[in-house]
Amino acid sequence: MTMGKMGSIRESATPLPDLCNLGVWLRILLAVNFGALAAALARSGSIEATPRSFVELAAFVEPVVLACLLLLCGLHRMLASLPRGGAYAAVVAVCMLVAQGCGLLLASVFGSGASWQPALWAALAAMLLLAWFDLLRRAHSPAVTEARLMALTARIRPHFLFNSLNAVLGVIRSDPRRAEAALEELADLFRALMRDNRELVPLSEEIALARQYLELEKLRLGERLSVRWDIESCPPDALVPPLMLQPLLENAVYHGIEPLAVPAEIAIRVRRERDRVDFELSNPFTPDAVRHSGNQMALANIRERLLLFFDLEAQLETAQRDGLYVVRISFPYRRGG
């Protein structure tokens, strides 16, 4: 559930739902249609007549709801700056005006008398939905969500740190200077892991962290590991969940590179497509490597963190094609300050 957040999961001053979020839109449309179905059943008085009555109601209700959502999305910045009571009153007023406008339009087309019923029903529906979202916000309070995010991040750390330390230990005797430089890189990674991970971070920071991690892995794997970056169209200021890229690279190294006795490549592509950021990572896929089969923990963690930050507007998909394992992530482009 996304509650009025942009770059953080902390509670906003105005606890409105994110009225530009597709997940919120879906919940509102489902709730309104369920209400229309209940109203149709009550009005028709019989199961047989309910479908026709529902279609008639939905033909009026759904355009009104969509128009309200589009208008409220356009006003979301202004609404977010209002105090709680003012924001709620503004939402109710907008819904009433849209519903009444649609009602007057239909009355003029069909020659019937004007009525205040559409505005009253819209006000009631808006207040009920606001109360429902407020209950959801309280049930999934920021403290609970932040604790969940921290737990998800903590699950990633042991594997990452274990592999990184092993990489440094592998060269500490043969090349002390390189080991010293690697320890400095590892210290930077420690700081990234220990920071407050409740906030979205710029994509440029995630890429820098990924490069540091890959340098440490190259200490251990040498020429067996190569990386191809395609980030010319990458928006560096795009906000992403912290520690999104590194766990995917760790999976790619462990499941794709280590089982092979020959050099192999990890390909990373990040680009902006209109108002979205598309990310793709591919690595060799070896289904016969029994020791390296299975672990989906990192993918599950990233999928859940994308849900916490972006709700249903983010997607994570995996595929196997032409001997490659491909991870695709798409999420809204939100620009960092």
Q: What percent of the chain has pLDDT over 90?
A: 19
The CA-atom distances, in angstroms, between 236 and each of 73, 196, 227, 242, 300 are 26, 20, 19, 14, 25
pLDDT of residue 290: 46
Element housing 201 (H / E)? strand 201-202
In this predicted structure, the answer to whether residue 280 has a pLDDT above a threshold of 80 is yes
| DSSP code at position 174 | T
Query: Once rounded to an integer, what is the mean pLDDT over residues 231-249?
Result: 89
Comparing 14-28, 209-223, 291-305, the range with the smallest average pLDDT is: 291-305
Domains and CATH numbers, the chain: 22-139 (no CATH), 142-332 (3.30.565.10)
Least confident of 35-44, 120-129, 203-212, 278-287: 35-44
> CB–CB of 244/153 below 8 Å?
no
Model confidence over 95-154: pLDDT tens digits? 999 888 887 777 666 555 556 788 888 899 999 998 988 887 777 666 666 656 666 666
Measure the CA–CA gap between 311 and 332, rounded to whole angstroms.
10
pLDDT confidence of residue 176? 85
pLDDT at 166 over 50: yes
Instruction: Read off the pLDDT of residues 180-222 as tens digits, 9 standing for 90 and up.
Output: 888 887 787 777 767 666 788 899 989 988 998 888 888 878 8
Phi, psi (rounded to 5 degrees) for 75: -100, 10
User: Does the pLDDT value for residue 171 go beyond 50?
Assistant: yes
Which pLDDT score, from 0 to 100, does residue 220 have?
A: 79
How far apart CA 133 and CA 27 sit, in angstroms, is 10
Task: Give 195's DSSP letter.
Answer: S
Q: How far is CA 133 from the centre of its chain?
A: 18
Q: What is the pLDDT of residue 156?
A: 56
Tell if the pTM clears 0.75, that is, is over it: no
